[in-house]
Structure formats: C-alpha cells, structure tokens
Amino acid sequence: MTLILSNDDIRKSLKVKECLNVMEETYRELASSRAVNRPTSQSYLPPSLPQSTYNFKSVDGGVGKYGVFALRVTSTVDQEQHINNTVRLEKLPLAKGKFVGLVQLFSAETGELLAIMPDGFIQQTRVAVTSALGVKALARENSKVLALIGSGGQAHAHFRFLTAVRPIKHVKIFSPNPEHRNAFAKEMERETEIPTNPMESAERAVTDCDIVCTTTNSSRPVVKADWLKPGMHYNAIREFEMDEAGLAKSDVVAIHTQFGGIQHYQPPGIVVDMPGVRREKSRDWSRYPEICDLIAGKAPGRTNDKQITFFLNNVGTGVQFAAMGYCAYRAAKENGLGHEIPTDWFLQDIKP
Amino acid sequence: MTLILSNDDIRKSLKVKECLNVMEETYRELASSRAVNRPTSQSYLPPSLPQSTYNFKSVDGGVGKYGVFALRVTSTVDQEQHINNTVRLEKLPLAKGKFVGLVQLFSAETGELLAIMPDGFIQQTRVAVTSALGVKALARENSKVLALIGSGGQAHAHFRFLTAVRPIKHVKIFSPNPEHRNAFAKEMERETEIPTNPMESAERAVTDCDIVCTTTNSSRPVVKADWLKPGMHYNAIREFEMDEAGLAKSDVVAIHTQFGGIQHYQPPGIVVDMPGVRREKSRDWSRYPEICDLIAGKAPGRTNDKQITFFLNNVGTGVQFAAMGYCAYRAAKENGLGHEIPTDWFLQDIKP
C-alpha cells in the first residue's frame, strides 16, 4: 500500500529522538558516500495574475542505510507585493485557499512509491533537527539557558528539538509582536514543562544565555556581535541573521552544507528575471566544515568552554527530506495513520 | 479530484489529432517564451544488488497556454548485465515484477496536483508525436511509403502518428527478428487498415520509400548513407542510428532540442562512475535548428522535392510530458476514466 499522510498524521507520529538519530545517521551516510543530494531547481512559467509567477521547485536525495529516496516539490503561484516601501514575495493560497508542497518517498530497493505527504511539518522538522545536531556538535554540554528569537513554525520546531539535545532549564523568547511571543512562550511551557520567559528585546533574551537561536525571516542581522559572550553557541537558519562582525568573533564556525545553490529555469528567450525569481547572494562559506564532517569526526568541534561557536543551517538538502520522510512513514505505519492507496496504481508493465 | 490513471486509461482515451495539435502549440509556446524546461537529472544510490545502482531520474516543464506543469520521474534499480561480450544496462522489475515511472500533472494556475499517471504510454507517445511534427515540417507533402525499422513500443507509436500527418498508403517494416516484424506488421495493418509488408532487410525496407523512421535501441548506424535518395525524409530517435555520412548527405537537418544534457549526481566523494551511470557522448548539434524554430517559422524547412531531410528526435523534454499529460488528463476526465482521489489530500494550510 502507498500511504497518503497529512501534516496532522505526521505531527502526531514523529518522535523527537528517532528524528535526531535518523538524521545523524543520514549525515554519517553522506560522509561515507552512501547518500546523495541533487541541488534545488526552480522552473518558472509566465504569470496568470499580475506581478506573479508560477514556481515549481524540486529537490531530491536518498539514504542508502534506510533504502529510501525522497523528492520534495512545491507548486506555487508567487506574487510580488509592495507593502510599506518594501517588496515581499507572497505565495498565494490559490489551491482552494491552501498550498501545494509534497514529499514523495520511494523505496531505493524496489523503486516503489511508499508515501506522499505534505512538506509543511516535515520542512519545519528537518531544519530544526539539523540545528539540534549543530547544537549537539558545538554547544557546551552544560548549556542550560536557550534564547529563541522568533515565534513561528520554525521557532516551535527549534524549541522542541534544541531542548532535546541539551539539559535546557529555561527558554527566553523574543519576537517583535508581544502577543505572539507571550502566546508562544505559554504554549511551549505547557507542552514541554520547561519554564519560558517572553522578553522585551532580542538583546535581553540573549543576555546570559548559553545558546542563541534565531528562527526569523530576516535578511538583516538579528543578533549583534557585542551580545555574543565566551562559551555561547549561536544557531542561525538564515545567512544574514548574523552580522559579519559576529561571524569574525566566532571561534568555531560550521555550516549545514557546501552543496547547492538553486538552479533557476525560465522560459527560453527570457533574459530579465521574471517577478518572483530570487537569486540570493551568499557569503563565501567554502572554508567552513559541514555538519556531516563534524558528526563523522572529520572536522573539529568545540575544544573548550570559552569558545564562541556558530552554526549556519544554510540551505535545505534532499537527504533531509529522505530522513524525515522515512521517520514519518515508519511512524505512521506503526500507528495506522494515513490513507492507503494500492501501490499497484503507481506501477506499470512498460519498462521506463 | 486528483485523477490516478493507468496506461490502459491513457491508451483508450488519447486522440491522435489532439496530441499533434497540443504538442505543436506547445512548441509555439516554447518559441514565444511561454513554456519552460528543466533538463533531466539522475541521482544515484549505491547498490543493494551486485553491479546495480538505484537511479532516480526526473525532468520537468510547463506550458503557459494550457496552464499545466508536469514532472516526470522514474525510480528504478539498474543492473549491468554481461551478455555475449557486451554490457547491457537492464532496469530490474523489482516492484512486484513491475516498474515505476510516473508523470505528475500540476495546475500552473492554482498549484494543485491534477493527476498522476504512469509514464510508459505517454513516453512512447511524446516521442512519436514529436517525430510526426518533424515529418510534418520536413517530409514531402505527397509522401506515400513509410519504412519503419523496429517493432517495439516506439515502432507502434510512430506507425500511428507518422501515418496521421502524411497520406501514407504503404508501410514497409523491418526488425531483425522475423516473428516480431511479421506480428507487428499484421497487428498494425489490422488496427490502421494501412497495408504493411514485413521486409527481410533494412535496406530493402528503405528502398523506394518516402520516409524512413528508425525506432531502435541501437547505438550503431541502422541506415546507411547510400540508401538515402533525393526527396527522402529520415527520422531518428537516437543520435547514432544515423551515420556521419548520412548526416553529411542531408540537405536540411533539424533536431528536437539543443536543451539538456543529463545532470548526474552521485554520492559525494565518489569519483569513479557507479555501475549504471551512462554519460552519453553527443555530436555537436549546435548549428542545427530546433523543431520549435521550424514550427514557429524561425528556421527554413524543406524548399524542394529533391532535398534529403533529416530530423533527429534527440532528447526528451519536460514540456513534452506536460503536453501529453494534459491530453491524457483531459481525455480521461471526459471519458470518466481513472481513480479519483480527493485533491484535499495533497493540500495543506502550512505555507511551503
């Protein structure tokens, strides 16, 4: 049977420890040439709405040890919206008020389609799990206070996974909207029984913490270099959440992956970028080790308690979707969740 | 509703004329920057069987006019088999004795997943339809005799589509195995009511024909340059079915696409190609026009009845799957074919 899962099925069934173990093994597989990644590609079609573009994004990857291969696609109409003198790129909920993003899991042993699931919860989880492995590799063993900047889906996931790898006793939370930060702090305290405090500024949240984690959409620095003190670990999920000075001040720096760079495909003959095509500039990260090197012991991590460590969880990779898709599939099968469809519907006699 | 189709559903519902029209419009869209292609990628995982490799192949593309975007994937275990001093790459039927190749059709207007279908019949059809458009653009209007070399799935499809664009009165068939060519000739004569003759050699099939079409797996020339006579049109679906001399002898040459070249992704650290990784050498086709240039009138076709014309239907593109997927989806909906699944199962509230 091929399983069709929902975000709720996945939310109910994913186990924190298993996600961490499977992702860690996945990075070991990558370090020993037993996992593969294809960089993200985006293909664009001209707008059916003003200032918009159809954007088909895909990435794939597989992990030998688990015998799975995953394809992640998003199929969206993206619109440039001018709000308060800034241009924002908004994905429009045109699919009956909803969005289309899917992870498809294949067996690398038989080729069969094992499962199709939405990418939303998986996406948040795969980022947070990798950040947690960065914490595991770089933060002080006795880290007790976490400063979390942000209150969205990524903040939720990072709260759950970062507190699972270090003995965190207290989480200080900042996000610009007081209602959001208060509600988020309460919600997570109730869920995890770890005391939380909403803070009035990012600086106050960071003061005296052991681990700083920014989970924002910001393209400007969120944490200032001055705030980073000896012994701290800083985790960013976007390159420019951290300023250049903060980077220079860090004693140990690692990134998720050197791999990638999005490949953009516009219709032939189009030389000016269509609305919605974003080619992000990046700093040069080529001198820093990857998380899989840290995990496999090929690169040094923290060597003393005074060092400032920095992990940039930069771009997503296919193996992350394979690892988390595998966890979701296995857990859903154990718990009898999801809709079952005959696998035969996705098989054929004709040799491809 | 999202439709799940089978090869039989598609075989029953696809209409020859509509396929030709939609594909022709698709090439016009491409010529006017309203369609897009991503080149084929293949990602590999280490073998679970000797001399084998897991191979995940994907290509995508979309067509503005039809508001659709297609992704084609194959998920196969490929094994190198040594037979009679040659090495053959065999896709193994490990999925309950069957194969996994899928075309997924998305709406470029809403993002929704419209349909999932096997790629087998679509694959044969998309090649044949493009060959037929090559015939339409290059073969003499009064072409009456077709020589068809091959008797497999592609030969079937090419018989159907090539005879739809020229007033073919007679088809001469050669394939090395007499039983295969006899059975194929009989079958197609019954289906199309066009008289056929199985021939004892490729040369005898080609003698006195107007159009030659090779649909073989051969990497060596199947048709010799000497056999090509003034006025003939030659269609090849593999680059090396035609020898260098035949190419030189042709007055007008066009190809399917300049686009592409397969992108291969092996696990990091693997520097020698894994079993099953095929990097095909190609001649330089950059000076020849594409089919979309011929159709859009941007490149000249045949200008007199004495010319020898040659069309190389070289590599597949995403737009072909979008065009044929659209035809299959529309026809299946009209005819009430396929399994319906709630589209909601493939939607989510979380913004990707």
Nearest to B269 by CA among A25, A294, A37, A301: A37
| CA separation for the pair A224, A278 (Å, rounded) | 26
pLDDT of residue B33: 96
Residue A343: both structure tokens together: 């696998």
pLDDT at position A83, please? 82
How far apart are alpha carbons B75 and B274 in whole angstroms? Answer: 16
Find the mean pLDDT for residues B180-194.
Answer: 97
Q: Which of B41, B100, B265 sits opposite A346 (nearest CB)?
A: B100
Percent of chain B with pLDDT over 90: 86
Residues 120-149 in A contacting B (C-alpha not used; CB under 8 Å): 120-121, 123-124
Short-list B76, B71, B105, B40, CA closest to A72: B71
| Strand ordering across the sheet containing A233-236 | A196-198, A170-174, A145-149, A211-214, A233-236, A309-312, A252-255
Interval B155-167 mean pLDDT: 98
Q: How far apart are CA B68 and CA B42, in angstroms?
A: 23
Cross-chain CB nearest to B56 (options A46, A62, A73): A62
CB contact under 8 A, A108 and B45: yes
**Residue B219: pLDDT above 80?**
no
A176 touches chain B (CB under 8 A): no
Amino acid at A204: R
Would an 8 Å CB–CB cutoff place B240 in contact with chain A?
A: no
Q: Given this model, what pLDDT does residue A243 score?
A: 85
Element (H, E) at B322: helix B318-334
Interface contact B174, partner A, CB < 8 A: no
The first and second tokens of residue A90, run together, are 């908004």
Q: Considering the entire predicted model, what is its pTM?
A: 0.96
Question: Rounded to an integer, what distance in angstroms lies between the CA atom of residue B179 and that of residue A208?
Answer: 83
Distance from CA of A151 to the nearest CA of B (A): 15
> Could you tell me how far CA B300 lies from the centroid of its own chain?
23
- Average pLDDT over every residue of B32-59: 93
Smallest CA-to-CA distance from B254 within B280, B287, B289 is with B289
Which residues does residue A118 pair with via DSSP β-bridges, in sequence order?
A: A102
Judged by CB atoms within 8 Å, which residues 266-305 of A form the interface with B?
Answer: 266-270
A198-204's contacts with Cβ under 8 Å and 24+ in sequence apart are A198/A173, A198/A174, A199/A147, A199/A172, A199/A173, A199/A174, A200/A174, A201/A174, A202/A149, A202/A174, A203/A227, A204/A172, A204/A174
**Residue B20 pLDDT:** 98
- Of the candidates B33, B63, B111, the beta carbon closest to that of A270 is on B33
Decide: residue B275, CB within 10 A, 0-12 exposed, 13-18 middle, 19+ buried: middle
Residue-wise pLDDT for A296-321, tens only, equals 999 999 999 999 999 999 999 999 99
Q: Is the pLDDT of residue B48 over 80?
A: no
**For B235-257, what is the mean pLDDT?**
92
Taking CA–CA distances from A351, the nearest residue in chain B reads B99
Q: What is the pLDDT of residue B320?
A: 98
- How many CB pairs below 8 A link A and B? 278
Helical H segments across chain A, by residue range:
7-13, 16-31, 120-138, 153-162, 178-192, 202-206, 244-249, 291-295, 318-335
Question: B319: helix, coil or strand?
Answer: helix
- Mean pLDDT of the residues in chain B: 95
User: How much is the average pLDDT of B23-50?
Assistant: 94
- Indicate whether B145 pLDDT > 80: yes
User: Taking the CA of residue B102 as centre, how many other CA atoms within 13 Å lie in the half-sphere pointing to its CB?
Assistant: 23
Please give the structure tokens belonging to residue A9: 């099925």
Spatial CA neighbour of B127 closest among B165, B105, B155: B155
Helix-strand-coil percent breakdown of chain B, rounded to 5? 30, 30, 40
Strand partners, A62: A36, A69
pLDDT of residue B181: 96
Query: Measured in whole angstroms, how far is the alpha carbon of residue B96 from the centre of its chain?
Result: 26
Q: What is the pLDDT of residue B62?
A: 98
Give the pLDDT of residue B49: 81
* pLDDT tens by residue, A157-192: 999 999 999 999 999 999 999 999 999 999 999 999
Residue A313 near residue A236, CB atoms below 8 Å? yes
Find all residues with CB under 8 Å of B257, minimum gap 6, and list them. Answer: B37, B290, B291, B292, B314, B315, B317
Q: Which residues of chain A have pLDDT under 70?
A: none
Residue spans of alpha helices (H) in B14-111: 16-31
Beta bridge partners of A316: none
The predicted pLDDT at position A50 comes to 83
Interatomic CA distance for residues B167 and B18, integer angstroms: 18
Asked if A264 is an interface residue toward chain B (Cβ–Cβ < 8 A), one would say: no
Pair of tokens at residue B124 = 């044969």
Q: At what angle do helices A318-335 and A16-31 cross, to 10 degrees?
A: 140
Residue B240's pLDDT is what?
Answer: 82
B345–chain A nearest CA distance, Å: 7
| Structure tokens that stand for A196 in this block | 């939380």
